[in-house]
Amino acid sequence: MPAIDRERVRHLLGVGGGTQAAGTLDIVSATAEDGFVRHAVALAIDDRAIAGTLLLPEDTKRPVPAVLYCHAHGNRHDIGAAELMDGRPALQSPYGPALARRGHAVLCIDMPGFGTRQAEGPESALAKAAHWRGRTLFGQMLDDLTAALDALATHPAVDPTRIATLGLSMGATHAYWLAALDERIAACAHLCAFSNIGPLIAAGAHDLHGPYMTVPGLLAHGDMADIAALIAPRPQMVAAGLKDPLTPPEALNPALSRLRQAYDSQGVSDALTVLTSPDTGHEETPRLRMAVLGFLERHLSGASASSFEARQSSPSS
Q: How many other β-carbons are positioned within 10 Å of the β-carbon of residue 42?
A: 17
Nearest to 95 by CA among 105, 110, 83, 112: 83
Write the DSSP string, 173-194. Answer: HHHHHHHHH-TT--EEEEES--
Q: How many other β-carbons are positioned within 10 Å of the β-carbon of residue 240?
A: 28
Q: Where are the domains of the chain?
A: 23-301
**First CA to last CA across the chain, in angstroms?**
46
The amino acid at residue 290 is M
Nearest to 293 by CA among 273, 269, 279, 264: 273
Position 303 scores a pLDDT of 47
Contact of 192 with 284, CB cutoff 8 Å: yes
Q: What burial class does residue 22 get, using C-beta atoms within 10 Å of its C-beta: 0-12 exposed, 13-18 middle, 19+ buried?
A: middle
- Residuewise pLDDT in 10s, the chain (317 residues): 457 899 999 999 998 655 566 788 999 999 999 999 999 999 999 889 999 999 999 988 899 999 999 999 999 999 999 999 999 999 999 999 999 999 999 999 999 999 999 999 999 999 999 999 999 999 999 999 999 999 999 999 999 999 999 999 999 999 999 999 999 999 999 999 999 999 999 999 998 899 999 999 999 999 999 999 999 999 999 999 999 999 999 999 999 999 999 999 999 999 999 999 999 999 999 999 999 999 999 999 864 433 333 333 333 32
Position 314 scores a pLDDT of 39
Output the CA torsion sign for 156, 162, 167, 172: positive
Report how far residue 55's alpha carbon sits from residue 179's, in angstroms, rounded to the nearest whole number.
Answer: 21
CATH number for 23-301 (one of 3.30.70.1450, 1.10.3720.10, 3.40.50.1820, 2.40.10.220): it is 3.40.50.1820
DSSP code at position 136 = -
Position 15 scores a pLDDT of 86
Position 20 scores a pLDDT of 66
pTM for the predicted model, two decimal places: 0.93
Residue 281 CB partners (closer than 8 Å, separation 6+): 241, 243, 244, 245
Report how far residue 34's alpha carbon sits from residue 38's, in angstroms, rounded to the nearest whole number.
Answer: 10
